[in-house]
Amino acid sequence: MTKIIRIPANGKISDEAARLVAEGVKDCRLVAFPTDTVYGLGSTGLVKAAGRKIFELKGRDATKPLPILLPSAEAAAHWVQWSPAAEALAARFWPGALTMVLKATNAGRILTFPEYKTLAVRVPAHPVALRLLEESGVPWASTSANVSDAPALADGKAVVERFDGRVDFIVDAGKVPGTASTIVDLSGSAARVLREGAVPAQAVLDVLGRIPGVKAAPARRNILFVCTGNSCRSVMGEKLLEKLASGLEPGFSARSCGVAAERYFEVPAPVYAVLEPLGIPRFDHVPQLVTRELLAWADFAFAMTDEHLEEVLDRYPEFTGKVHVLGRYVDLAHPSIEDPIGQSEAVYAACRDKLREAIEAFLHKEHP
């Protein structure tokens, strides 16, 4: 049975509730809790069985280590190899929405798998999360409160609906910001922003640029493809960009969405058929609607038609200037990339080729 703890209007968790959850976490119980980004699922990082519970609940790949949440930079320095770059970023952004990937200390190796030598660590800014971390006295293995491939949850009500009966505790603090943390990798020869989230990548690079001897690689650029149902064109665009941009530095990250997507839409068989000759294997995909969070994540958002562009900007006018029609990179007069749904494999192949031509033109312009 799930114990639901609702945070009052003052935003503080009671001492009794904090002790209850903290003791449960130390005993490998699972808790859904608010952070300054999205709601998280967490438990003690000191016991592998607790992490396995999270993997099973999310349907997540159990070979990938979970991020670690800690109450302070001082606590983090016990588990990861601290550095001037980490110190500077922690001073600027912690507590906050920045996750740092660092080499694990000998102690920190118990928080990950033997084949991994790094840990992703963060000190969240949400007062309830910090109170729970401090009360428990253990590092928390944590990830976003959602099943794999589903959107992260940012409202306590939705968390209760999704996880009541599936976790031991739910701490409902209402709505949280909803934008994921930014991730910076400090474990290599050059610092690299792996994902831009709530903290702007340039702000991270600005801090790193002021540290003598620290090299910072340019940030990866995030590309979002938008069509109607997020099952044909935008999916092909996402996979084609990943293929065509592989090996480019600093690289590109791709995602896709639709203006009228439904989760039950299936990727048509011809999509797989026309991508396979390019060396793109079959993949799992759950369609998702275009959202403010996805558009905020993207450096470029590529619509398939003028109608898609207009629909996106009608909903989110603040992203004017970021959303473009992809086909304009190769055909100003006829830029639309039309929907092949329900048509022959040859039509899908022609759509793929137009997408590929436009993406190659974009890459040539942005990465000559």
Task: Say if residues 219 and 202 touch (Cβ distance below 8 Å).
Answer: yes
Q: What is the pLDDT of residues 243-296, one digit of tens each?
A: 999 888 778 899 999 999 999 999 999 999 999 999 999 999 999 999 988 998
How confident is the model at residue 321, as a pLDDT? 87
Task: Say if residues 34 and 54 touch (Cβ distance below 8 Å).
Answer: no
The 10 Å Cβ neighbour count of residue 329 is 19
Is pTM beyond 0.85? Reply is: no
Q: CA dihedral defined by 203, 300, 261, 357, rounded to 10 degrees?
A: -150
For 63: left if phi > 0, alpha if psi spans -120 to 50, otherwise beta; the answer is alpha
Which regions of the chain carry the CATH code 3.90.870.10?
3-182
To the question of domain 3-182 being in CATH 3.10.580.10, the answer is no
How confident is the model at residue 130, as a pLDDT? 98
| Architecture of the domain whose range is 220-366 | 3-Layer(aba) Sandwich (3.40)
How confident is the model at residue 296, as a pLDDT? 86
How confident is the model at residue 202, as a pLDDT? 86
Q: How far apart are CA 360 and CA 355, in angstroms?
A: 9
Q: What is the pLDDT of residues 161-174, one digit of tens each?
A: 999 999 999 999 99
For residue 349, give the amino acid letter.
A
Which regions of the chain carry the CATH code 3.40.50.2300?
220-366
Give me the tens of pLDDT residue by residue for the chain, a chain 368 residues long.
999 999 999 999 999 999 999 999 999 999 999 999 999 999 999 999 999 999 999 887 777 789 999 999 999 999 999 999 999 999 999 999 999 999 999 999 999 887 889 999 999 999 999 999 999 999 999 999 988 667 789 999 999 999 999 999 999 999 999 999 999 999 988 898 888 889 988 899 999 989 988 887 777 789 999 999 999 999 999 999 999 998 887 788 999 999 999 999 999 999 999 999 999 999 999 999 999 889 988 989 999 999 999 999 999 998 888 999 999 999 888 899 999 999 999 999 999 999 999 999 999 887 65
Q: How far apart are CA 4 and CA 32, in angstroms?
A: 9
Indicate the DSSP class of residue 108. Answer: G
Task: Say if residues 193 and 43 touch (Cβ distance below 8 Å).
Answer: no
How confident is the model at residue 149, as a pLDDT? 63
How confident is the model at residue 357, as a pLDDT? 96
For the chain, the 3-state helix, strand and coil shares in percent, each to the nearest 5, are 40, 20, 45
How confident is the model at residue 140, as a pLDDT? 98
Q: How far apart are CA 322 and CA 249, in angstroms?
A: 22
How confident is the model at residue 368, as a pLDDT? 55
